[in-house]
């Protein structure tokens, strides 16, 4: 499964331009949930671990295929076999 990972706001800034848009193709077994993908990313580098540690993980927010989701949401691909996961801090618009 092809997973595109995107980061926004402080996470994007911490990870830098090389990392904030990150496409990986997984041989099975791919992470089963958004939370498992986060756990895997945290293991990849100290920078990932720090960026994804929003409020010790409690304030990390996520979206799957551009819809807000939670960490238990299963990683489902769209019909093309790809999926887009975004991680970001709590929103502050308006």
Partner 1 sequence: MSAVSVSVQTADFDQSHEVAMLRQGRVDVGAVVSFVGIVRQWLPEASVAATPSDDTLTLEHYPGMTERMLLDEAQRTAACFQVLGIRVIHRVGTLPLGDQIVLVAVAASHRQAAFEACNYLMDWLKTQAPFWKKETHAGVGQWVAARDADDQALLRWQQTTDRHHTVPLVNGESP
Residues at the site binding partner 1, with contacts judged by CB under 8 A: 6, 8-10, 12-13, 58-59, 61, 63, 66-72, 86, 88-94
CB atoms within 10 A of CB 54: 18
**27 or 77: whose CB is closer to partner 1?**
77
Q: Select from 75, 73, 93 the least CA-distant residue to 83.
A: 75
Torsion sign (Cα): 3, 4, 10, 13: positive
Output 71 or 77, the one with its CB closest to partner 1: 71
**Pick 27 or 36: Cβ nearer partner 1:** 36
């Amino acid at each position: 499964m092809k997973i595109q990972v995107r980061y926004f706001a402080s996470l994007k800034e911490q990870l830098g331009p090389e990392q904030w848009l990150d496409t990986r193709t997984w041989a099975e077994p791919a992470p089963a949930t958004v939370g498992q993908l986060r756990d895997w990313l945290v293991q990849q580098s100290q920078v990932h671990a720090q960026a994804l540690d929003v409020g010790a993980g409690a304030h990390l927010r996520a979206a799957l295929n551009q819809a807000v989701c939670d960490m238990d949401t299963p990683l489902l691909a769209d019909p093309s076999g790809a999926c887009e996961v975004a991680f970001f801090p709590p929103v502050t618009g308006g």
